[in-house]
Structure 1
Amino acid sequence: MNLASVPDSFGLDINNDQTLSISVPTESRFALSFKDTVGIWSQPIVETFKHIIRKTTTATTLENNHPQSFAKPSEGKWVAFVIEIPEANSVYWKTDQPCSASIFTPDGKWMTCLKGTDLAKGIKTEIATKGTYYVFVHTAMKDASYPSETLSLIAITSQQSNALSVEVAGTLPELVSDPEAVVNLALTGYLNGTDIKFIRSLKNLQRLDISEARIVEGGDKYYENYLTADDVTGDYMFYNLPNLTHLALSNHTTEIAAAALNSCTGLTEIEIPASVRSVGKSAFNNCNQLLLINWNAQAAITAESFDTPAKMGNLLIFAPEGTGCTYEGNVVINGMAEKISLTHGKGFRSPQAFKAKDITYKRNFSMKSGNKINAAGWEAIVLPFDVQSFSNEKQGELAPFNSGKKGAKPFWLAQMTTDGFEHTTAMKANKPYIISLPNSESYEDEFNISGEVQFHAEDAGGVEVKATSYKELARIEGSNRIMIPAYETVFKHDTVYAINPATYENIAPGGAFVRNLRDVQPFEAYLISKEAAVNAPKLYSIGGIGGEITGIEELPSDALDGIEIYVRYGVLYIKSDRERTLSIYDTAGHMVRQVEVQEGTTAVTGLGKGIYLLARKKILVQ
């Protein structure tokens, strides 16, 4: 069975021979159009047929507390597991890459679906009764970020106690009975090299809190030839622990030594204790998922502790008044940043609002724009500040259509309403929009925009930068859908509609929000349907009916000044005051000819009889 997508829940029957019968509700659609004698197609008639697909499969045994590796299921397929859960308790599930896992109870009833990044980070579920449970792994990511052909799944049913007191340094290994069951660990007491070495060996450890513990001298070498020292987070102490997503350092720490946290690629945020007096070289290098540092210390923030700001992405550092700083990244001291630079596609996290004297967001645009018939070239966007100005590296100052900005090159900006998308002239903080830049052969080069665009605001007193927490984001409700902004990656899923960056079923790039198409990148927005899952459409078109827009308003009239058009005996003549490129369209909006017009009069022959669109005029060729 090769389904287009696997739903969160589906029917499950457990047969006498312990095989599993799966029933998946699905639907098929077809569209029927008719072409008249002049070549114009009618509006398509769309019909939907719902039916059930059934398949029998055998489940592989998943052992408690032990990771199971298996071939990554392709799109529309799954891998089935059976696991014996010995008692009613919480179970911790984790995969090494984003995917979904549908879980069924011993009697075959759907219990839950664990999804995407949550499952990759680890999810705890409560099991009400012991027994045999069934797990179906599906919707696995396979792209440039996750190219592996295999997945790994672990179900931890007997978790080690989260909180341990190490009264005697070096005894932590004796306090942990099942190292593979340790996911979250909070320690008090005293930790030496032996304890740190053991912590580094915990394969499934994700959250470590040693804020109430003290690091002391003694014990084994914890990494290569490094030994612990009193109250020092030592050289390479937590180096290259990719599963670690949360780390609370000891509140007694006086020094964070060189490369102490280097290559913790799963770490997204960290607090620097107030007791810290110095932070060493390359302490945070290669922490490419790090989004937030709460720098509570008076230790200086130095450039040598980090990669370049470009490599650190959109990392945001909050520090108290008086903190010295030589790092040129995004640093907020006592609520004010001198300069904030944000880059598209890299996550951004700010749990609180702050001010910035100068803030810029950069994004590259390359899609071709559409026309009045077909929408194209649209992208979704959200920013944490009110944008004051827009500019392009080639065309200079930009502004939304109808904004009244003289001398600026225009582009299209739209917001969602209950009636669909409508044009707007301003971009406000934390509100999702769609944006399209003129980029077509039918426009003069002086109005085409591509490449890097900067969205900017500045104020000596500080521009307000909004918090990015969920409650601060504007969710815009339409008649049958909701538009949601995102500052961190939202993995593709059957409920997530993202704009198509490439042609999708004859829809031009940037022409529709498509379900389960791709990940939603930071600083984008996506749609979710308000309809029941079984009735939710495959896509929402940006152009078309219901108050939506195709995105093409007229470019300024001076782009086509100096042109005279007329027809004589079936030949089209274009008289122009200069050389230029013009496109001829049929009434359906399809380009039929591109003409290199010379200064003077250019004759265009070979056009069939009919009505054409050229330079905003209808031309009849007989």
Structure 2
Amino acid sequence: MVKLRMKKVLSLFLLLAVLTGVVQYGGTAVASAARSDFTIIGGVLTRYNGSAPAVTIPNTVTSIGDYAFKEHTEIENIKIPNSVTSIGKYAFQECSALKKIIIPDSVATIGIYAFDQCTDLKSVTLPNKLTSIGIRTFNECESLTQITVPDTVTSIGNYAFSDCSGLKSIVVASAVKSVGKYTFDGCSDLTISGYTDSFIQTYAAKNKIPFKSIGIGSLTLDTKSLVLAPRSSYTIGANLVGSGVSVRAASTKGKVVKVTKTSSKTFQLTALKAGKSDIVFTVYKNNKAIASTTVKVESKFGAATRGNSTRKTIKF
């Protein structure tokens, strides 16, 4: 009888926890956001109306709108689902208690001032589709100590990391070709890491910022392996980063799979008959091979084109 009563009490407690949005972590009660706390219009999260320190954005959201979480000083942790493709301007501005943010690779754009004055932000993971870091994106994130800029980023805007007084290391292993005014102003202990002879090395020298080389460059392929039917084709993306480097691709069995360079960043594979072949991508500097990687291709009749689309990156 006592055990039955205990079970009823426990069930009632769990029900109340769900209804009130309270979850127990290691003996500490942490409030989590409820679905009703979000205003979502056409997939855009226009405003968060809750007050919980732990927030999980619903996977029905495709875009985080401008100002959506602005000045929510109670938020400490937030989870962004893979359904999100963009983050608007000022989206998390002055979320001063936010400690960590992982931005999934589905996100291609982040608006200006998005994390401005997130003073307690210690860890940021940027997405691999990102092409630019805008004006004051991480301005005054004074608790941020290190960050890695993805290889896809080509520009960093004005004041993007200004007054990040705790920032000691930034890896710009990318194709960055422009850095705005006062981007690292107030980052007195900063060391920039990047590729030898790159734009960012020249920038660091010009602005008297310590620089550390991490090598010559990198090659990233968007496919690891591939299956396709004879007389069908597939285009592989190949992103090469580095100064004075080039990439060539060749098939180990040219009668099975033919490879053609279609642009500076793409190669077309065409299956000619059933069989298997390796496509060898070789990186050259001053006409000397310095690195290589391989994509395995199988051609078979009746096959639907499919592949392992996990990125494959080599550094050299």
Give TM-score scaled by structure 2 length.
0.43
Larger Cα Rg: Structure 1 or Structure 2? 1
What TM-score comes out, normalization by structure 1 length? 0.24
Larger RCO of the pair (alpha carbons < 8 Å, separation 6+): 2
